[in-house]
Amino acid sequence: MRRYLASRLVQIVPTLFLVSVIVFGLQELMPGDPAVLIAGDSAGDPQVVAQIRHELLLDAPVPLQYLHWLGQVLHGNLGFSWRLQEPVAALVLQKLPVTAQLAAMAFFFSVLIGVPAGILSAVKRNTAWDWLANAVGLFGLSIPTFWLGIVLILVVSVWLGWLPPSGYVSPTQDLWRSLATTIMPAFVLGNAIAAILMRHTRSAMLIALRQDYVRTARAKGLSETVVVLRHALRNALIPVVTLGGLQLGTLLSGAVLTEQVFSVPGFGKLVVDAVYNRDYPVIQGVVLTTALLYVLLNLLTDLLYALINPRLRTA
Amino acid sequence: MTGGIGLLAPTLPAPKSETRLALERFLRHRSATVGLALIVLFVGVAILAPALSPYGPIATDWGAIRLPPSFAHWMGTDEIGRDELGRVIFGARASLLAGVVSVLLAAAIGVPAGLAAGFARGWTDVLLSRLVDAMLAIPFLVLAIALAAVLGPNLKNAMIAIGITTAPVFMRVARGSTLDVMTRDYIEAARAVGNPAWRIAVRYVLPNIFPPVLVQATLSIATAIIAEASLSFLGLGEQPPTPAWGAMLNAAQQFLTQAPWLAMFPGAAIFLTVLGFNLLGDGLRDALDPHRG
């Protein structure tokens, strides 16, 4: 297990290095001279612009600029927002809990819908239930997140008046109002992942149900519920956990649009506002943080997989 | 004599080719044919847009602002009196163009890279695979938004951004399939007769990794259409007044209480197009790889 952990940690180092190169590369693609943009009203003064270029090492060779940037990032300095005049790291830390709450609730919804639908589909293979579960899965994969959000706002908030159409309240402030403002965006966000989880659970259950241990359990006279839930599902869930963990990227991508539709002031809204205002350091900071989060959560998922899979645990 | 043998020989049907068997399996796949029909419908609508649209997509009528669906305007009119049906019809062009072009770009980058990685192995494989891991570590839409933002908001840049961010998926599929194909006897035979490496890669490996790449391409078009709609929803795709389904939804959000129909039709169009490609992709996968699942 220790060797496994060490090898996984070694593997993420080159990935993170290349992620940093890609994110730094975005800076090189940005149109215009950052020094001119930062100079603002003083952009007409070549001396001011030259001084900013020198201070930010923009006149240095690109590899040196990269090393300087990387050094800053490793010290927790993700740059400075041109628009909000705040450190990007502070903005990220401020918005992250909001998206984390939304993502956690979305993941809960996706498991609640996806796993039972996948089990039902596999157990009742080639029946109307299977067809229905597959149709729901296909619907989840094909519907654009932002459109589902708009339709839900129209039906649930505008026509029925059950939930607020937008906004966000922190759970520490008012738990019930917090749930009321996040339940709809979380459902929308969880919908696409529910479809993916449903497909993974179905495939894993179909494989598990064909195994010898399931045949043995049935031969022992155990009820079908016990066979399915205790014997097949327990084994089928192992790959589902890993694949579910890999959906974090989908969650973060979906959060960008969901937060925009429901005006939730999280990570996604931060990057969209930065895009509208050409606030490139914020875009860069958000991309880097999401990638880091993704890599770390994947590592955690792998460790969880190793913990629940006895073959890897004893290796 | 020959005629006699012919009469005595059992009349066995000629064995069917793999392609023919796959085609038969595909045509028996009901949902795949529904998917294909949806795609044909939307492609037809996009091509025949000028003939099908009752009004121009950017023609405004200040006397017909936010009218609900009627015989004159089947899908109603928008906030500046433009016919919604005409805009949905013309909007198909941006979505389908973005879906196809960005996936072609992604395949043009990813397939040769995957082929090279799987064929050459060694350091080429390690470097390319790590690069793919790094690109896949950045959530797809976040990277696409960042790229589209720095490149500038227009349809061409949105397609480039989606193409680049989709390329790693093709690289993975091509690499995996190449590794599988490289173990086959015909590759060994091609090597034994002295074919150069490039010839083996192009002549023997490439055609055999085509089926999984085709399945991936179909499913990726679905993802790319949603991505384009997402970028245009955020103002990073096709720019006004040219119609794009995502941008139309963004505008519709402001008039949700007064004109809810404006949010229904472009969304339904995206959903049905994406559904078509997803159904087709699933059907192709089942037809080309019957042993799977």
Q: Do A15 and B257 touch (CB under 8 A)?
A: no
Q: How many residues does chain B have?
A: 293
Report residue A82 as tokens: 């041109």
Report residue A114 as tokens: 């996806």
For residue B138, give the nearest of A250, A275, A290 by CB distance: A290
More confident residue, A170 or B24: A170
Side-chain-side CA neighbours of A121 within 13 Å: the count stands at: 25
Q: What are the chain B neighbours of A284 within 8 Å (beta carbons)?
A: 146
pLDDT at A79 over 60: yes
Q: What CA–CA distance (Å, rounded) separates B217 from B215?
A: 5
Task: Give the gap in angstroms from C-alpha B227 to the nearest C-alpha of chain A.
Answer: 9
- Report the pLDDT value the prediction gives residue B2, as an integer from 0 to 100: 44
Confidence of residue B292 (pLDDT cuts 50, 70, 90): low
SS3 B83: strand
Q: Which of A196-200, A302-306, B288-292 has the highest mean pLDDT?
A: A196-200
Report residue A270 as tokens: 């931060």
Phi-psi category of residue B194: left, alpha or beta, with phi > 0 → left and psi -120 to 50 → alpha: left
- Could you give the C-alpha distances from A141 to A144, A192, A194, B219, in angstroms and in order? 8, 5, 9, 11
Side-chain-side CA neighbours of B179 within 13 Å: the count stands at: 12
Task: Give the gap in angstroms from C-alpha B109 to the nearest C-alpha of chain A.
Answer: 16
pLDDT at A31 over 80: no
pTM metric for this prediction: 0.89
Residue from B38, B131, B142 to probe the interface with A (highest A Cβ count within 10 Å): B142
| Complex ipTM over 0.85 | yes
Q: What CA–CA distance (Å, rounded) separates A310 from A235?
A: 11
Please list, in sequence order, all residues whose beta carbon lies within 8 angstroms of the beta carbon of residue B56, skipping any fewer than 6 positions away: B83, B86
Does an H or E element contain B38, and which? helix B30-47
A241 burial type by CB count under 10 A (0-12 exposed, 13-18 middle, 19+ buried): middle
- Report the pLDDT value the prediction gives residue A314, as an integer from 0 to 100: 53
Confidence of residue B159 (pLDDT cuts 50, 70, 90): very high
Q: What are the chain A neighbours of B246 within 8 Å (beta carbons)?
A: 144, 146
Q: What CA–CA distance (Å, rounded) separates B154 from A31?
A: 14
Average per-residue pLDDT for chain B = 89
